């Protein structure tokens, strides 16, 4: 994890009564790269990646609802429809267009759903270790993470140790960075997650099952890259092959020395993969899709 000499600007938007936070890395005249973090993470998880691309793109990293500095949903509404509505409103309010949309895990699922419903706004899509649906293996792995990530800790060092056990490829500095922005100290000295713990409790009660997004894949029309950590237990190689068969022209890359967090576990390799993908010259894609089906499938 590099020392941050340049820091992003904290920005806030009120979306349907919910105050959402995002990091703006400047260079507003450049093409927008919108970054969506994974479940129980936060916008600062992208900091090192953003430092490597901020001179070429206008990078916006969102704290999705119930995460980081964004407000928790009063009624604990964290469905994919709710996330979609947040993203759609942010894109509209900030007048974003020709997006490079990159999402990790849960953020990848949200990015996929938004891209299908608003293809005219997305130029390129990157899905990082994002599973289109659940299976026994991935649900078991997610539950393992839910059980072991502390909901209360005596110190940040305790949180760091847990993150290192869950993700052995992460450097200590990166674990410290993730913990410092992912936890807050409360009265009495204990440290608790910034994410809404009701999300993890909901997920556990539902058996860590997610919505089935496979039917939507065929409607992705922009150049798409699927990224998997080589040792990931969340997204299998067979799953990647299936995704690439369904999304027209989709490509895939595997990051060595990485599990479910290739962005942070092997930042140099991940950044090269993204840079190569963005440097590829692609024919301007045509937004051809069944509008009737999308009206039926997408909720605006």
pLDDT for 3 equals: 63
- If one counts every other C-beta atom within 10 angstroms of the C-beta of residue 6, the result is 11
What is the C-alpha separation between 283 and 24, in angstroms, rounded? Answer: 29
Helix axes 80-93, 106-117, angle to 10 degrees: 60
pLDDT for the residue 282: 62
Q: Domain locations in the chain?
A: 9-134+213-297
Q: How far is CA 49 from CA 33, 163, 181, 247, 259, in A?
A: 11, 19, 16, 26, 17
Rg (CA), the chain: 18
| Per-residue pLDDT at 203 | 73
DSSP string across 174-203: HHHHHHHHHEEE-TTS-EEESS-HHHHHHH
Nearest-angstrom CA–CA distance, 179 and 170: 12
What are 221's two structure tokens? 């029309």
Counting beta carbons within 10 angstroms of the beta carbon of residue 95, is it exposed (0 to 12), middle (13 to 18) or buried (19 or more)?
A: exposed
Helix (H) or strand (E) segment spanning residue 63: strand 58-63
Q: What is residue 268's predicted lDDT score, i.e. its pLDDT?
A: 98
**Kind of pairing, strands 32-36 and 183-185?**
unpaired
For 72, which DSSP code? Answer: P
For residue 155, the 8-state DSSP code is: -
| Whether domain 9-134+213-297 has CATH 3.40.50.740 | no
Beta bridge partners of 128: 104, 227
Instruction: Say what the pLDDT of residue 284 is.
Output: 46
Q: For every one of its 300 residues, what pLDDT tens digit does the chain have, with 9 covering 90 and above?
A: 666 678 999 999 999 999 999 999 999 999 999 999 999 999 999 999 999 999 999 999 999 999 999 999 999 999 999 999 999 999 999 999 999 999 999 999 999 999 999 999 999 999 999 999 876 667 677 776 777 789 999 999 999 999 999 999 999 999 999 999 999 999 999 999 999 999 888 776 666 567 889 999 999 999 999 999 999 999 999 999 999 999 999 999 999 999 999 999 999 999 999 999 999 876 544 444 444 444 445 644
User: Which residues are paired to 185 by β-bridges?
Assistant: 191
Cβ distance 160 to 176 under 8 Å? yes
Could you identify the residue written with the tokens 């992003």?
Answer: 8
pTM score above 0.95: no
Backbone angles phi, psi at 15, to 5 degrees: -120, 110
- CA–CA dist 276, 129 (Å, integer): 18
pLDDT at 292: 40
């Amino acid at each position: 994890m590099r020392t941050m000499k340049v820091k992003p600007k904290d920005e806030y938007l009120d979306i349907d009564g919910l105050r959402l936070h995002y990091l703006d890395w400047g260079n507003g005249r450049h093409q927008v790269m919108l970054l969506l973090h994974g479940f129980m993470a936060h916008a600062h998880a992208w900091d090192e990646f953003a430092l490597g691309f901020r001179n070429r793109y206008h990078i916006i990293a969102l704290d999705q609802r119930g995460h980081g500095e964004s407000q928790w949903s009063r009624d604990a509404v964290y469905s994919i429809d709710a996330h979609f509505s947040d993203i759609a409103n942010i894109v509209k309010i900030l007048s974003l267009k020709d997006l490079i949309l990159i999402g990790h895990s849960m953020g990848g699922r949200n990015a996929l759903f938004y891209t299908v419903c608003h293809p005219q706004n997305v130029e390129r899509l990157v899905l990082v270790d994002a599973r289109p649906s659940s299976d026994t293996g991935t649900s078991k792995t997610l539950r393992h993470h839910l059980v072991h990530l502390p909901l209360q800790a005596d110190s940040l060092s305790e949180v760091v140790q847990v993150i290192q056990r869950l993700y052995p490829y992460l450097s200590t500095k990166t674990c410290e960075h993730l913990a410092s922005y992912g936890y807050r100290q409360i009265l009495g000295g204990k440290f608790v997650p910034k994410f809404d713990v009701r999300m993890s409790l909901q997920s556990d009660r539902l058996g860590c099952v997610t919505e089935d997004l496979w039917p939507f894949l065929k409607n992705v029309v922009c150049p798409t890259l699927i990224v998997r950590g080589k040792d990931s237990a969340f997204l299998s190689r067979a799953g990647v092959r299936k995704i690439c068969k369904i999304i027209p022209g989709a490509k895939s890359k595997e990051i060595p020395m990485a599990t479910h967090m290739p962005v942070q576990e092997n930042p140099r390799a991940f950044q090269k993969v993204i840079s190569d993908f963005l440097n590829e010259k692609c024919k301007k894609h045509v937004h051809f899709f069944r509008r009737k089906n999308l009206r039926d499938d997408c909720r605006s």
